[in-house]
Amino acid sequence: MAENRAEVDALASSKAEPTFENTIAALDRSAQNLSRILGVFFNMTASEANDALQAAERELMPKVAAHQSWFTLHEGMFKRIDTLYQKRQSLGLKPEELRLLERYHLDFVMAGALLKGRDRERYAQISEELASLFTTFSQNVLGDEGAFCLELKTDEDRAGLPDFLLDAAKSVAQSKGIDGYAINLSPSMVDPFLTYSKRRDLREKVWRAFKARGESCPERDTKAIAEKILCLRGEMARLMGYKTFADYALVDRMAKKPQAVSDLLMRVWEPAKKRALEEQKDLEELAAKEGFKGPIMGWDWHHYTEKLRAERYNLDEAELKPYFQLENMISAMFDAAGRLYGVDFKEIKGVPLYHPDARLFEVRGKSDNAMVGVFIVDSYTRETKRGGAWMSEFRGQSKNRQGGYPYPIIINNTNYAKASAGKPTLLSLDEVHTLFHEFGHGLHGLLSDVTYERLAGTNVLRDFVELPSQINEHWSMAPEILKKHALHAQTGQSIPDRLVKLIKETEHFNQGFLTVAYASCALIDMSLHQVEKPETINLAEFEKAECARLGVPEAVGMRHRLPQFRHIFADNGYAAGYYVYMWAEVLDADGYEAFEEKKNPFDPELAAKLKQYILSAGNTMDPAEAYRKFRGRDPDVKVLLRARGLL
């Protein structure tokens, strides 16, 4: 940080007249050592955190935030940027250079560069305070996840559990020093346990523990932390001249205004809620046939949904799962990317990485063998790793970097339950989609082909960044990919046409539940950040009142309850922004329909356009323009409603 401060001070105090090269391009080249070290640090605290690293994180994050504020509030640096910005149209800049200048100017403005005096100081203080609170929130949720362990001691405890889940439960038990079987709070354990366990009391115990993350014990309760975060965000927005944090956050998004978000979400909300209530009625009728009395609850939904799927479609998730071996699905995603974008993935062994589960691949062009990037895969859940799935980078792509190495180093993290030794890890359909989703982000980083790192890869508007990931999920179910890679774990036989057909037929099954569980979170996130006086918010009461106002079915609930909602409380990235998945889904559903119209999921002309304008272009052009160049028109929201079966 000291080195970077000297670097920026030197740029800002230069006696030379500011030019694009000596100011903007130079700024893009700066902080190389700091970026490299932060890349390692952030990836380690997310993927392999121990007590020492977490202590370092608590100490360092406020200092990192203070450094970032110092940078974006640097009057000398902003003066040079603003001088160029004011005469940008007369500088004869190339389109990418103009975009970079405009992005840097907006970065500084949105981070308080126009503030004066006490307001300027307060903005920096808020940034520091938030960094500390974000770290505590995230570590507390991780602590709750690591503290829970349900030991399955008897045959009765394990009743109904298929072999793949017992293998994973044995692996969890071994990691905790238990001789036997245990369930943790990884979704890859929770979801199948809720699906197959015949013990309703144990299903309830696991469900309640999963939903209580962030408030399961007083010393790790996150509600007060979240309330403080909301207050500071509100103050930050007011300093910047906005009524609410939602107004402030959406300035640099495709949606622009909270109303545009609400309009989209509500078009989906009412049809989804209606469908979910119909699904609940179907489940209760099925449960009644088995003698179950009383309403379906959250810990029953997965269980009876799987039974209904088997009855209605003769499709059992346990029958499907042996066809989706993790190793084969990683090969499948590489194969699809190779067919679409002309890249090869070769595993390089013997490279020292941060954990034995992490694997490294060299990515090269098929036609010229040119280096494209380095890709790291870290697949398995562990107590030292935060939950969920995400893509990150150790180094972004840049042709402007000093010392060479223009190619990126990208990592995908997932949290799959590892099978016991000698057995393959098997994935559910949802987990296969997650694998391809994160790989879509990975491809966005790997295939970036721009000059400046600030515009590279996933450095795009937040409601555009999910397009590459979500559209990539479609290729997980491409018939050519399934036939080659979906091979049965015991027999080695390719997945039969009957199951492929049933997967297609059931893609709208349970969509009411899935849409309500997601959209409720997106709507409540937006409502939370539109409160003009956030100091009045009681988090528990707010969540309860909003669920009642929206009419969220109790048996469905929110996918992420507020005390554990890391998307919006572990940093500012997705705050007033959880809607972006659905915003991008409009683009991805409409975009993939182009391939369906061609009746070829690997149509070379469309693949080339997708690569050129979406995956490789980074933030070098307006995202709406980029989409039009790929698709030939603006997206149609009706395609999303059709894709979810909600029309």
Evaluated on CA atoms 449, 450, 453, 457, the torsion sign reads negative
Could you give phi then psi for residue 584, rounded to 5 degrees? Answer: -70, -25
Residue 540 one-letter amino acid: A
- Measured on CA atoms in the order 351, 354, 355, 361, is the torsion positive or negative? negative
Q: What is the pLDDT of residues 497-543, one digit of tens each?
A: 999 999 999 999 999 999 999 999 999 999 999 999 999 999 999 99
Report the distance separating Cα 476 and Cα 457, nearest Å.
Answer: 22
Sorting pLDDT into bands at 50, 70 and 90, what band is 420?
confident
The answer, yes or no, to whether residue 403 has pLDDT greater than 80, is no
Going by pLDDT thresholds of 50, 70 and 90, the confidence category of residue 647 is confident
Which residue has 């970097």 as its token pair?
A: 401
Helix (H) or strand (E) holding 247: helix 245-249
Average pLDDT over residues 325-349: 98
> Angle, to 10 degrees, between the axis of helix 539-550 and the axis of helix 223-239?
80
Which two three-digit tokens encode residue 363? Answer: 């990515």
DSSP 8-state secondary structure symbol assigned to residue 213: T
CB 518 within 8 A of CB 581: yes
Say which CATH topology domain 322-505 has: Neurolysin; domain 3 (1.10.1370)
d(CA 79, CA 85): 10
Residue range 274-298, pLDDT digits in tens? 999 999 999 999 999 999 988 999 9
Question: Which residue carries 């130079």 as its tokens?
Answer: 26
Tokens of 510: 């349970």
Instruction: Identify which of 74, 62, 88 has the alpha carbon closest to the alpha carbon of residue 31.
Output: 74
Residue 178 clears pLDDT 90, i.e. is over it: yes
Number of alpha helices (DSSP H) and beta strands (DSSP E) in the chain: 27, 7
CB atoms within 10 A of CB 360: 18
436 near 389, Cβ under 8 Å? no
pLDDT tens readout for residues 213-267: 999 999 999 999 999 999 999 999 999 999 999 999 999 999 999 999 999 999 9
- Secondary-structure breakdown of the chain: helix, strand, coil percentages, each rounded to the nearest 5: 60, 5, 35
Instruction: Please tell me the predicted confidence (pLDDT) of residue 402.
Output: 78
- Under 8 Å between Cβ of 348 and 363: no
Q: How far apart are CA 224 and CA 15, in angstroms?
A: 49
**pLDDT band (50, 70, 90) for residue 63:** very high
Residue pair 189/387 in contact by the 8 Å Cβ criterion: no
Alpha-carbon span 62 to 66, nearest angstrom: 6
Spell out the domain ranges in the chain: 148-212, 322-505
Three-state SS string across 168-182, please? HHHHHHHHCCCCCCE
Separation of alpha carbons 602 and 181, rounded Å: 43
Residue 67 φ then ψ, to 5°: -65, -45
User: Where do the DSSP E strands lie in 338-464?
Assistant: 343-347, 359-365, 371-380, 390-395, 409-416
- Statement: residue 412 has pLDDT above 80: yes
Is this prediction's pTM over 0.85? yes
Determine the distance from the C-alpha atom of residue 582 to the mean position of all C-alpha atoms in its chain, rounded to a whole number: 13
Q: Note whether 132 and 62 are within 8 A (CB).
A: yes
Instruction: Check residue 493 and give its pLDDT.
Output: 97
State what percent of residues in the chain have pLDDT above 90.
96
Specify the pLDDT at position 293: 87
Q: Give me 200's structure tokens.
A: 């309703």
Tokens 């106002």: give the residue.
549
At 536-578, the pLDDT tens digits run 999 999 999 999 999 999 999 999 999 999 999 999 999 999 9
Residues 286, 290, 294, 295, Cα dihedral to 10°: -20
Catalytic residues: 438
Tokens of 83: 């001088």
Q: pLDDT tens digits for 128-167?
A: 999 999 999 999 999 999 999 999 999 999 999 999 999 9
**CA angle at 13 for the pair 8 and 15, rounded to the nearest 5°:** 135
What's the chain's length in residues?
Answer: 647
Cα-based distances in Å from 170 to 122, 163, 183, 205, 485:
52, 10, 9, 19, 27
pLDDT at 631 over 80: yes
